[in-house]
Amino acid sequence: MISRCFLCDLGDNVHKLQRMEELIGDRRFVEDERSLIKTPYDVQANNQEHDSPTSTHQIGSVQHGSPCFVYTLAFFSALGGFLFGYDTGVVSGAMLLLKREMNLSSLWQELLVSITVGAAAVSSLAGGYLNGLYGRRICILLASFIFSAGGIILSVAHNKEVLLCGRLTVGLGIGIASMTVPVYIAEVSPSELRGQLVTINTLFITGGQFVASVVDGVFSYLPHDGWRYMLGLSVVPAALQFLGFLFLPESPRWLLQKGDTQNARLVLSRIRGGVNVDEEYERIRSSIEEEKIDAGEGPVLWRILTFAPTRRALIVGCGLQMFQQLSGINTVMYYSATILQMSGVQDDQMAIWLAAATAFTNFLFTLVGVWLVDRVGRRKLTLGSILGTAVSLMVLAAGFLLSAQASPPVTFHPNDPSLHNSTCITYGLCESCMLNPDCGFCYGKNGTVVIESSCMPVDAASTEAAAAGRCSNGTQESLGVFWAYNYCPTSYSWIVLLGLILYLAFFAPGMGPMPWTVNSEIYPLWARSTGNACSAGVNWICNVLVSLTFLHLAQCLTYYGAFFLYSSLALLGFVFVVGCLPETKGLRLEEIEPLFGRQLFDIFFLWHCSKHL
């Protein structure tokens, strides 16, 4: 029997293709697709041949096997995302212990944090070449091997040089994993689950960041060697991924591209749960044949840049990754502890646990993204997310602005000769005092009013106390003495807190995952590795840029200035997304390239596409 719903789906497909024909104007492409649409009778016959109610389900005219194996593949590959999140997240807590134990200067602390991100930038670019040559599976195996080696080096390190070497190694793994995993998941997924499954990788990234913050919290109670556990624990998921991938298959698309037709068909049929994959196999094969004609001669990057549709796809992919980082996610995550301290949380342990709550919020809202991506589509989700992100950044900035305007003045100037050369004592307001990383604000309270406040140099060994005077033992509530490093006491902190929560709620479902998801699907197969390598490289380079410049930016523009700047960049990103990002929801990977056949900023076309696809 032909189900009514199935007839609707079929009608829908014909309608989609008619619309695509009108919109894209590529008749050859549409005709090919039309030959792939089966009449209800064809499908019925096919159903009888392969139907097994428990192992297959029907989507439009295409049948897919049980997605169980695809979920297993997605899980093991997304462990790469987990390690990306864990290794970038765990370092802040580990650093608190390390700087005491190894007596690290601020230069060394900065080096240990940024070498990982820098190495990730380099290795993600190199990952494109490795992916094209050795395939996705070998690259994932390589990344998990590097992660394991890095984790072991870090956990046994006995000096800062070895630590640096371990952090560099881990960064190399992160870069390769960050560009390979989304591509692999996109290539093995059926089109209707692809968005969700690739977005799961970002869920694992934010999950890794959350687990890292909990591990930081737990091991912060172990001041000696706690950091070894924090940094070394990453070996467990890395080894699990390595073992898993020894038994998991290569991407069938990559195999086909390399001419390994037999294995490609075998893997495809295994991934689809044993259903007939002739149609899908043929489609991939013929699109690879067509691509060979499109692709031209010369190095891949050159071919991408000289062929208009791939050049446009690359601009969209890199632009999305750039705006993801320029809207300040990593400074917001990194400074969440400071933001929370401004809201009145003075205890350090408490600040660590509240930072874990921030990471959890990021994780939770990424889950919303996984749920929404194949329902509302990439374009709407990204648009809503980036607009909300820009508005939340304005709320954050407004909170900082009001706090700065109500900044308590410095009223007490201690007469300690050792302070005479310090710039800290020259500041007249808490705002300017806290923006200097060498100074902190020491004050007393009368009810909620700040009294007897001074700007003091910070202790060289710990930012938790002043170098001299009343605050040399840090905050001592019983004595009515408070030490504020990096923030000022304010009654507007709730606005900042509101901005932080809104920011995560808007950023995490869209701008967090969509740049990775969209990049995994917008390039034709011949350009996919290189396109993803370039866009992942842009992500990491912008990540380094934003994190390294934040403190200087805050000193030049103040906190509110910096957040207003991020907000304007997010608004610019909104305009970019409106004008450049087509909807790719539900399309097969082979159907996406024609969407870039039009000029970017052809808004009418994009609007039509998202309405009808």
Ligand X SMILES: O[C@H]1[C@H](O)[C@@H](O)[C@H](O)[C@@H](O)[C@H]1O
C-alpha separations of 371 from 56, 189, 195, 330, 375 in Å: 22, 16, 10, 24, 7
Residue 355 CA to chain centroid, in angstroms?
Answer: 18
C-beta of residue 410 within 8 angstroms of C-beta of residue 453: yes
Token pair, residue 231, equals 């940094």
207/440 with CB nearer ligand X: 207
Residues 358-387 that bind ligand X (CB under 6 A): 362
Rounded to the nearest 5 percent, the helix, strand and coil shares of the chain are 75, 5, 20
The helix/strand/coil state of 245 is helix
* Of 97-105, 199-207, 390-398, 595-603: span binding ligand X (CB under 6 A): 199-207
What's the closest the beta carbon of residue 196 comes to ligand X, in angstroms? 16
* Of 51-59, 144-152, 201-209, 302-310: span binding ligand X (CB under 6 A): 201-209
Token pair, residue 248, equals 């998991």
* Of 185-193, 327-335, 424-432, 580-588: span binding ligand X (CB under 6 A): 327-335
208/594 with CB nearer ligand X: 208
Integer Rg of the chain from CA: 27
C-beta of residue 541 within 8 angstroms of C-beta of residue 398: no
Please list, in sequence order, all residues whose beta carbon lies within 8 angstroms of the beta carbon of residue 414, skipping any fewer than 6 positions away.
425, 454, 456, 468, 469
**206 contributes a contact to ligand X by CB under 6 A:** yes
Q: At what angle do helices 261-271 and 278-295 cross, to 10 degrees?
A: 130
**331 contributes a contact to ligand X by CB under 6 A:** no
Which helix (DSSP H) or strand (DSSP E) does residue 554 occupy?
helix 525-580
Strand partners, 409: 429
- Site map (CB under 6 A) of ligand X, residues 501-540, x = contact: -----------xx-------------------------x-
- Site map (CB under 6 A) of ligand X, residues 415-454, x = contact: ----------------------------------------
What's the closest the beta carbon of residue 511 comes to ligand X, in angstroms? 7
**213 contributes a contact to ligand X by CB under 6 A:** no
**CA 140 – CA 565 distance, rounded (Å):** 37
| C-alpha dihedral (125, 127, 130, 136), degrees to nearest 10 | -150
Token pair, residue 87, equals 């290794």
**317 contributes a contact to ligand X by CB under 6 A:** no
What's the closest the beta carbon of residue 338 comes to ligand X, in angstroms? 17
208/309 with CB nearer ligand X: 208
Size of the site for ligand X (CB under 6 A): 13
140/198 with CB nearer ligand X: 198
C-beta of residue 154 within 8 angstroms of C-beta of residue 170: yes
- Other CB atoms within a 10 A radius of the CB of residue 177 amount to 36
Task: Tell me which residue has its CB nearest to ligand X.
Answer: 512
46/543 with CB nearer ligand X: 543
Q: Which of 124, 199, 543, 547 binds ligand X (CB under 6 A)?
A: 543
209/287 with CB nearer ligand X: 209
60/207 with CB nearer ligand X: 207
Three-class DSSP labels, 556-604:
HHHHHHHHHHHHHHHHHHHHHHHHHCCCCCCCCHHHCHHHHCCCCCCHH
**CA 425 – CA 427 distance, rounded (Å):** 6
Q: Which of 330, 338, 436, 568 binds ligand X (CB under 6 A)?
A: 330
**199 contributes a contact to ligand X by CB under 6 A:** no
What's the closest the beta carbon of residue 212 comes to ligand X, in angstroms? 11
179/398 with CB nearer ligand X: 179
**392 contributes a contact to ligand X by CB under 6 A:** no
What's the closest the beta carbon of residue 516 comes to ligand X, in angstroms? 6
What's the closest the beta carbon of residue 329 comes to ligand X, in angstroms? 5
Residues that bind ligand X (CB under 6 A): 202, 205-206, 209, 324, 329-330, 333, 362, 512-513, 539, 543
